[in-house]
Amino acid sequence: MYPDVIIIGSGMGGATLAAALAPSGRRILILERGEQLRPSQHDRDAAAIFGDGVFRSDETWLDGTDTAFSPGNYYNVGGNSKFYGAALIRYREADFEPTQHDGGTTPGWPIAYADLEPDYQAAEQLYAVRGELGEDPSEPAHSGSYPYGAVPDEQDIADLRERLKAAGLHPSSIPLGVNLADWLAGGQTTWDAYPNTCGGKMDAETCGLKLALAHPNVELRTGCRVTALTTGAGDRIDSVVMQTEGKSETMTAPIIVVATGAVQTAALLLASANDNWPAGLANGSDQVGRNFMNHNCSAVLALHPFRRNRAVYQKTLMFNDYYLGSDGQPPLGNVQMLGKITAPILAANSKLPVWVAGWVAARGFDFYAMSEDLPNPDSRVTLMDGQIKLDWKRSNWVAHQHLVAQLKKVLRRAGFPIVLSQPFDRRTPSHQCGTARMGADPKASVVDTFCRSHDHKNLFIVDASVLPTSAAVNPALTIAALALRAGRHILETELAP
């Protein structure tokens, strides 16, 4: 029996869409190039994860100078969400509007926050988000409360929260998709960047995919790498070409969904070029692969030499005092806790001897400063002899430097005499987005407001590639909300009885 819907990719977008479509009873086939993560001896081994990179793919891409690098993407059931920090934060209302930044003006979205709010609420329910309303002045309107209360601060983080308040900030709880008891039962570590094999994180597999696969009409096939989509002269995708155990296979379905992440989705569409679509599929606008965005991020470590940080997981606190800008200053971004840095992690990412790294880690409070990257058509994904080339044109960097400077100043005011910072590698696409942007104009965008391709009426793109702007918060919840919105539209227009 042929499927009614083929979904390529089982990450946050693909899994959430499958959950939305599953109750229809239609045959849904999910294709995933990787396999399911199984419990292993390395799951909580910081040296193996951060030093040896045991879970990283051996794939290489090219940067803007044609130099090969390891991008740090993960290919497994659940996609990158299996390793994410589980911060499920809504975009702010202003993020959907054109906004003046230090580095330029964002274009805004073709939909408003209010259009997506019901889907944000539904996504928070699906991913069992734990949070607390009323703490963050920048938080947008909610039509309901969080399903669960916030993950509690550990003692030293509760003390940090009070110090930040005394310094004039408005610290708030990070909305998190974490079952703390289940996570810590698997090991006394943070969850940020650790693989979820115990079910403690609410990721694409443990929530979206689990709900979808509870329906007998939904099937997941692993080890299937899609290499091309085919189409004729018309406006529909004809088939999906994939490699399974070294053999080529072609499948067809009335509806095709691509949800492989901003870089891989663009690469697949470009690789599918044919005589009728010489620039690549869904690329009548020449926007596929363009406008790549990837948050400007820095790790900021604050410490007091005579005060220890005994936290295990740490990642419960954020503040957005600089997010929307104030006193004539442009928007700067979000600050949130990193998962607790340990000696092996610090040693693997610095030149410090292990004993020095241990001393610093035992006293350090670790922050993640994140600023918006602005869309630029020359910041793009292309193919060079079949290999992915990612030429990221970083933007708005001055604003990020201001954010880091403000953060250092306020942390010193909060009682930390030593504050250090390190920018994240510009070649690491941790929050990749924007390469198949959403828009109302088919000449300037790739998909419409329901993630349907302007060029191919049976093709939907449901991942971070459709985001018109990156905002300055983690994209996972917005991806899930857009997938639910797209799913509702598909049910109403394509799969109605």
**C-alpha distances in Å from residue 5, one per residue of 77, 216, 255, 267:** 18, 14, 5, 21
pLDDT tens digits for the chain (497 residues)?
689 999 999 999 999 999 999 999 999 999 999 999 999 999 999 889 988 889 988 899 999 999 999 888 899 999 999 999 999 999 999 999 999 999 999 999 999 999 999 999 999 999 999 999 999 999 999 999 999 999 999 999 999 999 999 999 999 999 999 999 999 999 999 999 999 999 999 999 999 999 999 999 999 999 999 999 999 878 899 999 999 998 999 999 999 999 999 999 999 999 999 999 999 999 999 999 999 999 999 999 999 999 999 999 999 999 999 999 877 789 999 999 999 988 888 888 777 888 888 999 999 999 999 999 999 999 999 999 999 999 999 999 999 999 999 999 999 999 999 999 999 876 666 699 999 999 999 999 999 999 999 999 999 999 999 999 999 999 999 999 999 999 999 999 999 87
SS3 at position 49: helix
- Asked whether the CA dihedral 376, 320, 364, 344 is positive or negative, the reply is negative
**C-alpha span between 130 and 154 (Å, rounded):** 16
Contact 12, 85 (CB under 8 A): no
**C-alpha span between 343 and 352 (Å, rounded):** 10
Q: Are strands 296-303 and 418-423 parallel, antiparallel or unpaired?
A: antiparallel
